[in-house]
Amino acid sequence: MVARRSRIPATKYPVERFTLDNGLRVVLTPDRSAPVIGVAVVYDVGIRSEPEGRTGFAHLFEHLMFQGSENLEKLAHFRHVQGAGGTFNGSTHLDYTDYFETLPSNALERALFLEADRMRGPRLTEETLRNQVDVVKEEIRVNVLNRPYGGFPWLTLPPVMFDTFPNAHDGYGSFDDLESATVADAADFFRHYYASGNAVLAVSGDIDVAEATELVTRHFGDVPARPAPKRPDFTEPDLTAERRTSYTDKLAPLPAVAGAWRVPDPITDFTGYLPYVVLAEVLTDGDASRLVERLVQRDRSVTSLGGYLGFMGDPFDVRDPTALLLQAHLPPGGDVDKVLRTVDEELDRLATDGLTDGELARTQARMATHLLRDTDAVLGRALRMAVLEQQRGEPGLLNDLPRLVGEVTEEQVQIAAAALRPERRAVVEVIAGGAR
């Protein structure tokens, strides 16, 4: 065990944390090795926060935040970032929305001004709202309605597994809900969720901590203070009987299936959660993994296979309730029931017989490599630390994740495998309607 842990590399990124008087939490992590910075602002509002009748609103609002702000006209944010040689974007998740830039380090103040200006207030108009509703509708057409396997399984599995609106609804949103949104709705959403007390700012890279602290205070310190809203309780009971559904995808050339099982709370029971993260990799990551070797290479009952934690694929940025997902595409005429039975057999075998020699260490080394790679760039580091601060108050956990993954034991993985029983599973089957 000691020898195995010693092979897991570690990072020692410094972390400086403070909170402004208006409640904004700030994380600084200096790295003077290259003249580049990553800036990320994370708001504690995501798809699960959407009110009924406003499906897709969290994603729509992410678009609206780029349409001008208190002191800047539409598209000014784009010009100021790109004019400094930087890149930018934003993304909506189940539990948060983020906005971020990568810039030369001499543009730090520019990035802070831009983010602080839209934190004070985006420029919400009827014209920009209608325009961005149309943009989001086009995204739905491109990414879901007119694409094979569109929304599979991240949109199609939650309504099978969950019963409550926050967990089960379509996060992209219905056209009816999007079209009925008003500027007043957008303003209310901003006032409620886009408060300084509901946000985290992270800056990583070539910064002087004292100078960066002064600049953050200068630009964000006078953002009006609004407290974070009380986060609803999204918990739901576990399944006690398997739930299954199927639908025909008229564009899909091959049948597909996805299954999901609830896992321990990733925030309050992180120790219990981590073995499932490792288990997903043991089962599906690489040609030597359990299910790839059995289902793809030996049985040839599926053509591709994947497994991961969380409906959007990142195990370290989700809250409860969440799940371990497996998804596979089958050859023409493939037998979904046979695939599910084989998965159950392999889980039982792993739970009973344990792992082969070197299987766990190999998996953990690969996982540690991925974690290190994902945070090697300054923006990846800023984003990860911002979310860790937002959800856990522990941005420095970024340095510990490879080690913690490496400390998961074979017995813990076996116990996790034993918990993935058919009666706790939600399943979605895609019937191919586009095969020639």
297 in a structural domain = yes
Distance between alpha carbon 116 and the CA centroid of its chain, in Å?
Answer: 24
135 and 57 in one domain?
yes
Q: Is the pLDDT of residue 3 over 50?
A: no
Q: What angle do CA 119, 214, 212 make, to 5 degrees?
A: 85
Question: What is the percent of the chain with per-residue pLDDT over 90, rounded to a whole number?
Answer: 93
Find out whether 61 and 97 touch, Cβ atoms under 8 Å.
yes
Q: Are residues 263 and 411 in the same domain?
A: yes
pLDDT score of 1 more than 50: no
Shared domain check, 267 and 215:
no
CA atoms within 13 A on the CB side of 227: 3
Residue 313 confidence (pLDDT): 80
Is the C-alpha dihedral spanning 276, 278, 279, 283 positive or negative? positive
Q: 105, 204 in Cβ contact below 8 A?
A: no
CATH number of the domain at 101, please.
3.30.830.10
Q: Give a yes or no: residue 89 inside a domain.
A: yes
Under the banding of pLDDT at 50, 70 and 90, the label for residue 435 is: low
pLDDT of residue 8: 80
Are 204 and 378 a contacting pair, CB within 8 Å? yes
Of the residues 221, 252, 273, the one at which a domain ends: 221
Residues 165 and 310 in one domain: no
Rounded CA separation 117/201 (Å)? 13
Do 293 and 400 share a domain, yes or no? yes
Q: How far apart are CA 227 and CA 296, in angstroms?
A: 51
User: Which residue, among 342, 372, 350, has the nearest Cα to 279 in the 3D structure?
Assistant: 350
**Quick one: how many helices (H) and strands (E) in the chain?**
17, 11
Task: Say how far residue 295 (Cα) sits from the centre of its chain.
Answer: 28
Q: Name the residue range of residue 42's domain.
A: 16-221
Q: What distance in Å separates the CA atoms of residue 247 and residue 121, rounded to the nearest whole number? A: 42
Mark whether 274 and 403 lie in a shared domain. Answer: yes
Q: Is residue 123 situated within a structural domain?
A: yes
**pLDDT, greater one: 314 or 59:** 59
Please state the φ and ψ torsions of residue 60, each to the nearest 5 degrees. -60, -45
What does pTM read for this prediction? Answer: 0.94
Residue pLDDT, tens place only, 181-210: 999 999 999 999 999 999 999 999 999 999
Shared-domain flag, residues 292 and 213: no
Q: What is the dihedral of CA 96, 316, 350, 407, to 10 degrees?
A: -160
**Per-residue model confidence as pLDDT tens digits over 139-164:** 999 999 999 999 999 999 999 999 99
pLDDT tens readout for residues 252-294: 999 999 999 999 999 999 999 999 999 999 999 988 899 999 9
Flag whether 425 is in a domain: yes
Confidence band of 434 (pLDDT split at 50, 70, 90): confident
pLDDT at 2 > cutoff 60: no
Task: Assess if residue 236 is contained within a domain.
Answer: no
Residue 231 inside a domain? The answer is: no
Last residue of a domain, one of 172, 190, 221: 221
Task: Write out the two tokens for 362.
Answer: 């190999």
203-251: pLDDT as tens digits? 999 999 999 999 999 999 999 999 889 998 999 999 999 999 999 999 9
Averaged over 408-427, what is the pLDDT? 98
Q: What mean pLDDT do residues 112-138 have?
A: 96
- Contact by Cβ (8 Å): 66, 114: no
The reply to whether 290 and 202 lie within a common domain is: no
Give me 228's structure tokens.
């974070």
The two tokens of residue 86 are 């930087």
SS3 90: strand
- In DSSP terms, 325 is beta-bridged to 260, 308
pLDDT tens, residue by residue, 313-343: 889 999 999 999 999 999 999 999 999 999 9
Same domain (yes/no): 206, 265: no
Q: Do 189 and 262 have their domain in common?
A: no
| 5 pLDDT above the threshold of 60 | no
Asked if residue 53 lies in contact with residue 229, where contact means CB atoms within 8 angstroms, the answer is no
CA distance 294 to 301: 9
Helix, strand, coil % (nearest 5) of the chain? 45, 15, 40
pLDDT at 239: 97
Position of tokens 């497996």? 326
At 422, list the tokens.
């058919």
Tell me, yes or no, whether 234 lies in a domain. no
210 & 255 share domain: no
Q: How confident is the model at residue 10 (pLDDT cuts 50, 70, 90)?
A: confident
Which of 221, 255, 271 terminates a domain? The answer is 221
Q: Do the domain assignments include residue 43? A: yes
Whether residues 199 and 290 share a domain: the answer is: no
> How many domains does the chain divide into?
2
pLDDT at 142: 96
Tokens for 49?
Answer: 């926060």
In the structure, what pLDDT confidence band is assigned to residue 81 with cuts at 50, 70 and 90? very high
